[in-house]
Structure 1
Amino acid sequence: MDSKLVFLLFAMAMAIASSAMASDPSPLQDFCVADHASKVFVNGLVCKNPKQVSEKDFFFSGLDKAGNSKSRVGSIVTPVNVEQIPGLNTLGISLVRIDFQPGGLNPPHTHPRATELLTVLEGTLGVGFVTSNTENRLISKILKKGDVFVFPIGLIHFQINLGNKPAVAITGLSSQNPGVITIANALFGSKPPIDINVLAKAFSLEKDVVEYLQDEFSG
């Protein structure tokens, strides 16, 4: 076989292999129920012995009940991920319920491992996300009951209740453990705290304002 053709086929095979390794693998069995008791650390969670699996590993109850949204920001998130349903392990999906007080806010945050698909069940929400630094463009929309909105993976986004009554939303996420980074909490509430000079320069704030915010978010 011609050496150039051999090289081309090898390059194509390597490209396909690297592409396959860059994404989450598909499940290789019916399920891989998370064994939360295991002390083995892997990228994900260790599988429980299939013979010890029961229907309880695939079940969660109570999402019909409102969470206590009387918080500082007027909202509460009730997650249903692999921590609540071990059977979600390796399946790449989870969801949350979000309850809002009138005027309540789900503050600007990001999910490092998931795209979010939000559906409004009750109320009117203002939602939006910001594109990456090349534009920093705000894409926003006012949603009513039955409306759906997508927040792409990794982008900063928010939801706020624009009505004078409580609001409820359900969101699906494309990860068993999407993670969440609330921007203000992460920057002003980190432990140990970020150097005041860094935050003052980054946000063009006076140092006493940074100190105040660090006190507010340090818990």
Structure 2
Amino acid sequence: MRKILTLILIIISLQIYSQERLFYHQFEPTASDFKVVKWNIKKDSLPPHYFTEKIDSDNRVTELKFYKDGKNNFDHLCYLITWIKFEYPNAETIIQLNLNDKGIPEANFECGLPSRTTYYLSKDQREIIKSEDEFKFNYTPYLKNNWTKKEIEKVINELKSEEETASIVNYYSKSFYKLNNIFPVDNEFDITIFYFSDLEKENVINGLK
């Protein structure tokens, strides 16, 4: 009987541990950013501006979702993202998906915002070796506004031609947990040229150690 109870407890513990966990943080919208002002706030007393962070059983961020007055679909600058998902197909790859309000990856090519970015990491996961952007979206609204398919594809090709290896994983600075507390950067990373809030900067520095 004792063995059966022990086995049940082990199974329950494994199920709990394997599940994603959700955390709440507070942000402040600025003229150009979503500035983190408080980590790990209580769910029962949420401020007007907050965001959620999901992490998996390996302590890696899998989703960031920003809210204003409980709504994810709120007015913001076109180069800011309110819903991001991260996937980890293997230990040395991070895929970032920038989602629209329906949860579908969507680029905003007018603001240079890709629908998907893939980051290839070193074996120790601390360095970004290479990154690749994809620009997928529904052409229809642009075609209705007198864009031609050729013009759209020309802009996308120009964006791709200007592509360089990313210095950081975009929006990882907004994650408390990141890649199990690792903050991957490229070999030319200079923290002084990035704007981080004090809380973000402290967390980023810890992730570089």
TM-score, normalised via structure 1 length: 0.31
Q: Greater Rg, structure 1 or structure 2? A: 1
